[in-house]
Amino acid sequence: MADRLSLALTTLLLALVLLVLPALAPARAAVKIQEVTSDGGVTAWLVEDYTVPIVAVRFAFTGGSVQDPAGKEGLSNLMTGLFDEGAGDLDADAFQERLDEVGAEMSFDARRDAVYGSMRMLAEEREAAFDLLRLAVTQPRFDAGPIERIRAQIVTGIQRDMRDPNVLGRDQFARALYGDHPYARRTDGTAESLAGLTAEDLRALHARTFARGNLSVAVVGAIDADALKVELDRVFGDLPAEPRLDPVEKARLNLAQEVRYAYPLPQATLQLVYPGLERDDPGFFAAFLMNHMLGGGTFSSRLFDEVREKRGLAYGVGSSLVTSDYSDMLVIGTSTRADRAQEALAVIRDVVREVADSGVSEEELARAKTYLVGAYAINNLDSSSSVARTLVELQKDKRGIDYIERRAALIEAVTLDEVKAAAQRLLTTEPAVLVIGPEGGEAAGAGKDG
Amino acid sequence: MDVIRDFSLRAALAAGLLAAASAPLHAEDAPQIDSFSLDNGLQVVVIPDRRAPIVTHMLWYKVGSADEDPGKSGIAHFFEHLMFKGTANHGPGEFSARVAEVGGRENAFTSYDYTAYYQQVAPQVLPDMMAFEADRMTNLVLTEEVIAPERDVIIEERNSRVENDPGSLLSEEVSATLYQNHPYRIPVIGWMHEIEKLNRDDAIDFYRRYYAANNAVLVVAGDVDAASVRELAEATYGKVPRGPDLPPRVRPTEPEQNTRRTVTLVDERVGVPSFSKRWVVPSYTTGEGREAEALDLLAEVLGGGVRSRIYQELVVRRGIASSAMAYYQSTALDDTMFMVMGSPRGEATIADVEKAIDAEIAKIATDGVGEEELEKAKKRFVRSMIFARDEQDGMARIYGSTLTTGGTVEDIAGWPERIRAVTAGDVKAAAVRWLDERRAVAGYLLPKE
Structure-derived torsion over alpha carbons of residues B175, B178, B184, B188, reported in degrees to the nearest 10: 10
Phi, psi (rounded to 5 degrees) for B239: -80, -10
Which candidate, B60, B41, B418, places its Cα nearest to that of B244?
B41
pLDDT at A10: 38
Question: Using CB atoms, which residue from B231, B235, B272 is nearest to A160?
Answer: B272
- Which of A22-26, A325-329, B28-32, B407-411 has the lowest average pLDDT? A22-26
DSSP state of A301: S
| Mean pLDDT rounded to a whole number for chain A | 91
pLDDT at B32: 82
Q: Where in chain A is the domain with CATH 3.30.830.10?
A: 29-236, 257-441
Residue B299 host element (H or E): helix B291-303
Residue A108: beta bridge partners? A117
Catalytic residue status for B80: yes
Whether the predicted pLDDT of B2 surpasses 80 = no
Distance of CA A204 to the CA centre of its chain: 26
Question: Using CB atoms, which residue from B121, B269, B383 is nearest to A165?
Answer: B269
Residue in A82, A261, A315 to test binding to B, most B beta-carbons within 10 Å: A315
CB atoms within 10 A of CB A273: 23
CB atoms within 10 A of CB B91: 12
B91: amino acid identity, one letter: G
Residues B300-341: pLDDT tens digits? 999 999 999 999 999 999 999 999 999 999 999 999 999 999
Residue in B118, B272, B372 to test binding to A, most A beta-carbons within 10 Å: B272
Assigned architecture for domain B261-447: 2-Layer Sandwich (3.30)
* Active-site residue, selected from the candidate residues B80, B291, B293, B360: B80
What is the Cα–Cα distance from A303 to A334, expressed in whole angstroms? 10
Task: Give Cβ neighbours of residue A195 (< 8 Å, ≥ 6 apart).
Answer: none
Write down the pTM of the prediction. 0.89
Chain B residues within an 8 Å CB radius of A372: 103
Q: Cα separations (Å) of B358 from A377, B213, B294, B304, B341?
A: 48, 47, 19, 16, 11
Residue A34 host element (H or E): strand A34-37
What is the Cα–Cα distance from A205 to A219, expressed in whole angstroms? 26
pLDDT at A9: 40
What is the Cα–Cα distance from A387 to A30, expressed in whole angstroms? 12
Question: Using CB atoms, which residue from B50, B122, B386 is nearest to A374?
Answer: B122
Question: Using CB atoms, which residue from A16, A156, A377 is nearest to B272?
Answer: A156
CB-based contact A382 B54, cutoff 8 Å: yes
Task: Give Cβ neighbours of residue B139 (< 8 Å, ≥ 6 apart).
Answer: B87, B88, B89
Sheet containing strand B55-61, strands side by side: B2-3, B105-110, B115-121, B55-61, B216-222, B43-48, B34-37
Distance of CA B265 to the CA centre of its chain: 25
CB atoms within 10 A of CB A186: 18
Q: Provide the shortest C-alpha distance from residue A182 to chain B (in Å).
A: 25
B31-239 homologous superfamily: Metalloenzyme, LuxS/M16 peptidase-like (3.30.830.10)
Residue in A82, A190, A383 to test binding to B, most B beta-carbons within 10 Å: A383
Longest CA pairwise span in chain A (Å): 67
By percentage, how much of chain A surpasses pLDDT 90? 85
What is the Cα–Cα distance from A72 to A200, expressed in whole angstroms? 12
pLDDT at A441: 55
Which candidate, A341, A319, A323, places its Cα nearest to that of A331?
A319
Q: Provide the shortest C-alpha distance from residue B34 to chain A (in Å).
A: 16
Chain A residues within an 8 Å CB radius of B169: 446, 448
Residues B172-225: pLDDT tens digits? 999 999 999 999 999 999 999 999 999 999 999 999 999 999 999 999 999 999
Residues B61-110: pLDDT tens digits? 999 999 999 999 999 999 999 999 999 999 998 999 899 888 899 999 99
Chain B residues within an 8 Å CB radius of A311: 149, 152
Residues B394-417: pLDDT tens digits? 999 999 999 999 999 999 999 999
Per domain, the residue ranges of chain B are 31-239, 261-447
CB-based contact A376 B102, cutoff 8 Å: no
Question: Using CB atoms, which residue from B52, B316, B323 is nearest to A377?
Answer: B52
Residue in B34, B269, B312 to test binding to A, most A beta-carbons within 10 Å: B269
Phi, psi (rounded to 5 degrees) for A90: -95, 120
pLDDT at B102: 86
Quote ipTM for the complex.
0.88
pLDDT at A445: 53
Which candidate, A275, A286, A271, A353, places its Cα nearest to that of A317?
A271
Contact between A330 and A274 under an 8 Å Cβ cutoff? The reply is yes
Question: Using CB atoms, which residue from A161, A267, A300 is nearest to B156?
Answer: A267
pLDDT at A442: 52
DSSP codes, A314-382:
EEEEEEEEEE-SS-EEEEEEEEEEGGGHHHHHHHHHHHHHHHHHH---HHHHHHHHHHHHHHHHHHHSS
Contact between A86 and A95 under an 8 Å Cβ cutoff? The reply is yes
Cα torsion angle, B190, B194, B200, B205, sign: negative
CB-based contact B447 A163, cutoff 8 Å: yes
Sheet containing strand A328-337, strands side by side: A257-262, A432-437, A267-275, A328-337, A314-323
Residues A28-87: pLDDT tens digits? 335 789 999 999 999 999 999 998 999 999 999 999 999 999 999 999 999 999 999 999
Task: Give Cβ neighbours of residue B286 (< 8 Å, ≥ 6 apart).
Answer: B332, B334, B335, B336
Task: Give Cβ neighbours of residue A398 (< 8 Å, ≥ 6 apart).
Answer: none
Contact between B357 and B274 under an 8 Å Cβ cutoff? The reply is no
Nearest CA in chain B to A363: B101
Residue in B81, B164, B198 to test binding to A, most A beta-carbons within 10 Å: B164
CB-based contact A56 B264, cutoff 8 Å: no
Q: B278: helix, coil or strand?
A: strand
- Reported as a pLDDT band with limits 50, 70 and 90, residue B449 is confident
Question: Using CB atoms, which residue from A97, A384, A446 is nearest to B390?
Answer: A384
What is the Cα–Cα distance from B383 to B388, expressed in whole angstroms? 9
Chain B residues within an 8 Å CB radius of A385: 390
CB-based contact A448 B267, cutoff 8 Å: yes
Q: Cα separations (Å) of A241 from A45, A208, A210?
A: 19, 10, 9
CB-based contact A314 B156, cutoff 8 Å: yes
Question: Using CB atoms, which residue from A9, A24, A166 is nearest to B123?
Answer: A24
Show the 3-state SS of A395-441.
Answer: HHCCCCCCHHHHHHHHHHCCCHHHHHHHHHHHHCCCCEEEEEECHHH
CB-based contact A377 B376, cutoff 8 Å: no
| Count of residues in chain A | 450
Q: Provide the shortest C-alpha distance from residue B327 to chain A (in Å).
A: 19
E strands, B193-332, are 216-222, 261-267, 274-281, 321-328
CB-based contact A124 B103, cutoff 8 Å: no
CB-based contact B103 A337, cutoff 8 Å: no
Whether the predicted pLDDT of A16 surpasses 70 = no
By percentage, how much of chain B surpasses pLDDT 90? 87
B103: left (phi over 0), alpha (psi -120 to 50) or beta: left
Cα torsion angle, B141, B144, B148, B151, sign: positive
Chain A residues within an 8 Å CB radius of B97: 300, 367
- Reported as a pLDDT band with limits 50, 70 and 90, residue A4 is very low
Chain A residues within an 8 Å CB radius of B159: 266-267, 315, 335, 337
CB-based contact B156 A367, cutoff 8 Å: no
Contact between B84 and B118 under an 8 Å Cβ cutoff? The reply is no
Sheet containing strand A105-110, strands side by side: A34-37, A43-48, A215-221, A54-62, A114-122, A105-110
Chain A residues within an 8 Å CB radius of B154: 315
pLDDT at B31: 65
CB-based contact A52 B389, cutoff 8 Å: yes
Whether the predicted pLDDT of B28 surpasses 90 = no
| Count of residues in chain B | 449
CB-based contact B26 A56, cutoff 8 Å: no
What is the Cα–Cα distance from A121 to B192, expressed in whole angstroms? 45
Structure-derived torsion over alpha carbons of residues A403, A408, A413, A417, reported in degrees to the nearest 10: 100
Residues A274-312: pLDDT tens digits? 999 999 999 999 999 999 999 997 778 999 999 999 999
DSSP state of B163: I
What is the Cα–Cα distance from B335 to B377, expressed in whole angstroms? 24
Task: Give Cβ neighbours of residue B307 (< 8 Å, ≥ 6 apart).
Answer: A96, A97, A100, B376
Q: Provide the shortest C-alpha distance from residue B250 to chain A (in Å).
A: 33
Question: A29-236: what fold?
Answer: Cytochrome Bc1 Complex; Chain A, domain 1 (3.30.830)
Q: Do B31-239 and B261-447 have matching folds? A: yes
Contact between B11 and A109 under an 8 Å Cβ cutoff? The reply is no
User: What is the average pLDDT across A216-227?
Assistant: 98
A445: amino acid identity, one letter: G
- Reported as a pLDDT band with limits 50, 70 and 90, residue A405 is confident
Q: Provide the shortest C-alpha distance from residue A17 to chain B (in Å).
A: 7
Chain A residues within an 8 Å CB radius of B266: 448-450
Structure-derived torsion over alpha carbons of residues A184, A190, A192, A194, reported in degrees to the nearest 10: 110
What is the Cα–Cα distance from B189 to B4, expressed in whole angstroms? 9
What is the Cα–Cα distance from B195 to B8, expressed in whole angstroms? 25
CB-based contact A337 B150, cutoff 8 Å: no
CB-based contact B149 A309, cutoff 8 Å: yes
DSSP state of A216: E
Chain A residues within an 8 Å CB radius of B103: 16, 370-378
Longest CA pairwise span in chain B (Å): 66
CB-based contact A50 B390, cutoff 8 Å: no
pLDDT at A269: 96
Q: Provide the shortest C-alpha distance from residue A351 to chain B (in Å).
A: 19
User: What is the average pLDDT across A92-102?
Assistant: 97
Residues A236-273: pLDDT tens digits? 999 999 999 999 999 999 999 999 999 999 899 999 99
CB-based contact A105 B387, cutoff 8 Å: yes
Compute the count of residue pairs across chains A and B with CB atoms less than 8 Å apart: 260
Whether the predicted pLDDT of B228 surpasses 60 = yes
Whether the predicted pLDDT of A21 surpasses 60 = no
Residue in A47, A50, A52, A122 to test binding to B, most B beta-carbons within 10 Å: A52
pLDDT at B385: 85
- Reported as a pLDDT band with limits 50, 70 and 90, residue B3 is very low
What is the Cα–Cα distance from B153 to B77, expressed in whole angstroms? 12
DSSP codes, B378-389:
HHHHHHHHHHHT
What is the Cα–Cα distance from B258 to A172, expressed in whole angstroms? 49
Residues B423-434: pLDDT tens digits? 999 999 999 999
CB-based contact A19 B228, cutoff 8 Å: no
Contact between A436 and A263 under an 8 Å Cβ cutoff? The reply is yes
Taking the domain A257-441, which CATH number applies? Answer: 3.30.830.10
